[in-house]
Amino acid sequence: MSRDYRSLRDPNAEYTARDLSGEAMGVTASRGPRDVEITDVQTTMVDGNFPWTLVRVYTDAGVAGTGEAYWGAGVPELIDRMTPFLVGENPLDIDRLFEHLVQRLSGEGSVEGVTVTAISGVELALHDLAGKLLGVPAYQLLGGKYRDEVRVYCDCHTEQGADPAACADEAERVVEELGYDALKFDLDVPSGLETDRANRHLRPGEIRHKASVVEAVTERVRDRADVAFDCHWSYSASAAKQLAAAIEEYDVWWLEDPVPPENLQVQAAVTGDTLTPIAAGENRYRLSEHRRLLEAGAVDIVAPDVPKVGGMRETRKIADLAHQHYVPLALHNVASPVGTMASAHVAAAIPNALAVEYHSYELDWWAALVEEPVIEDGRITIPERPGLGLTLDRDAVEAHMVAGETLFDDA
């Protein structure tokens, strides 16, 4: 607990902010719980399998919050640009600060794109910070939790590309050795059968080959794991319909992004044409774009990315709207442990969460960036510690920073 609860009942009481080990953080003051101001915002970019932009928001209470923004050119610069709009503000007003940043950065493009990504990084840090200031886990700020642990699906790859047997072997390894019961494979990996990738058409032999990959993987781990397949917006409408129909018999978890993202009518037609569940949403921004997806009936499963889409509360709002359409969420995620844990808090706090993605199983130092365990046996147990419940290992972060970066200040 980071704060003496007496200060919440008596705004004039003294309180002592404490770190996760219970050590006093040297702050004893006569102040109410809302008497706190943002003093600075800093970023450090880590060279992971994606460039992870860690964001830290500092306060005059001696407590800082850590978040993460999805990768994107210019994200740290955009966060620098928004810092003057945050300094002096109360960090507990997360929703108002989100709208404040959207408004102040409207000229930078805060409807969609990297500006939303940059705001997301700050929004995650504010949830960590508010949780620490109030002494509650971040999920509590989102309305409490539906589940104590969140399922994680592992994004899988093979050195043999689209070879069906190699994919099946990797599925077996990830289930038996790494402990996951939920997987995803790419289905747009070149097979050597392509003659013209630009036309987005799938020839009959290509359809048969992709179906053979799906068959090999799903048959190998049947009853032990759910398996999704990702197409990364690659195919024409007719090819997507043929592919979705060809794999219906294999009970895939979902087929992701079979067609390009711009035309929602086509997306809805593909989704409505097959029993294979169709997922999309990772390159959509904010509630507004997910509202269009949902109202068009374009998806069976919506897949927002928390540190990209607008943050934790924005994803909560998407989940609420999706719930009205009886649509579940599978949270897209390519983040460090910070963004992954933020996604897990959201997934705990919404009824319609299927799982959170993990996209770094080839990186042996991913878990070392924080002191606490994150993914264990294919699950994230939601911590009861304040905020996101993580402590950065500053030495590990420093060892893996992007060249030229400097490590942000300790709180």
Cβ proximity of 1 and 51 under 8 Å: no
- Min dist CB 235 to Mg ion, Å, is 14
Cβ proximity of 304 and 282 under 8 Å: yes
Cβ proximity of 278 and 258 under 8 Å: yes
Considering the complex, state which of residue 110 and residue 271 has its C-beta at the smaller distance from Mg ion.
271
Considering the complex, state which of residue 181 and residue 230 has its C-beta at the smaller distance from Mg ion.
230
Place of tokens 């799938």: 202
Segment 246 to 305, residues that bind Mg ion, using CB under 5 A: 256
- Min dist CB 255 to Mg ion, Å, is 11
Applying CB under 5 A, the span of 138-146, 228-236, 339-347, 377-385 interacting with Mg ion comes to 228-236
- Min dist CB 284 to Mg ion, Å, is 12
- Min dist CB 171 to Mg ion, Å, is 18
Considering the complex, state which of residue 339 and residue 386 has its C-beta at the smaller distance from Mg ion.
339
- Min dist CB 185 to Mg ion, Å, is 11
Applying CB under 5 A, the span of 191-199, 213-221, 222-230, 311-319 interacting with Mg ion comes to 222-230
Cβ proximity of 139 and 345 under 8 Å: yes
Residue 211 has φ and ψ, to the nearest 5°, of -65, -35
Considering the complex, state which of residue 163 and residue 230 has its C-beta at the smaller distance from Mg ion.
230
Cβ proximity of 328 and 352 under 8 Å: yes
* DSSP tag of 289: H
| Pairwise CA distance, residues 18 & 2, whole Å | 5
- Structural tokens at position 51: 């460039």
- Min dist CB 283 to Mg ion, Å, is 9
- Min dist CB 217 to Mg ion, Å, is 16
Applying CB under 5 A, the span of 155-163, 194-202, 227-235, 344-352 interacting with Mg ion comes to 227-235
- Min dist CB 228 to Mg ion, Å, is 9
* Count of residues that bind Mg ion according to CB under 5 A: 2
> How many other β-carbons are positioned within 10 Å of the β-carbon of residue 364?
8
Considering the complex, state which of residue 170 and residue 357 has its C-beta at the smaller distance from Mg ion.
357
Cβ proximity of 288 and 321 under 8 Å: no
The yes or no reply on residue 405 touching Mg ion (CB under 5 A) is: no
- Structural tokens at position 169: 């072997």
Cβ proximity of 13 and 57 under 8 Å: no
Kindly list the distances between the CA atom of residue 112 and the CA atoms of 100, 105, 218, 301, in Å, as whole numbers in the listed order.
16, 11, 36, 21
Report the DSSP beta bridge partners of residue 66: 56
Q: Which residue's CB atom is positioned nearest to Mg ion?
A: 230
Considering the complex, state which of residue 230 and residue 314 has its C-beta at the smaller distance from Mg ion.
230
Binder of Mg ion out of 68, 206, 226, 230 (CB under 5 A): 230
Considering the complex, state which of residue 230 and residue 405 has its C-beta at the smaller distance from Mg ion.
230
Binding site for Mg ion (CB under 5 A): 230, 256
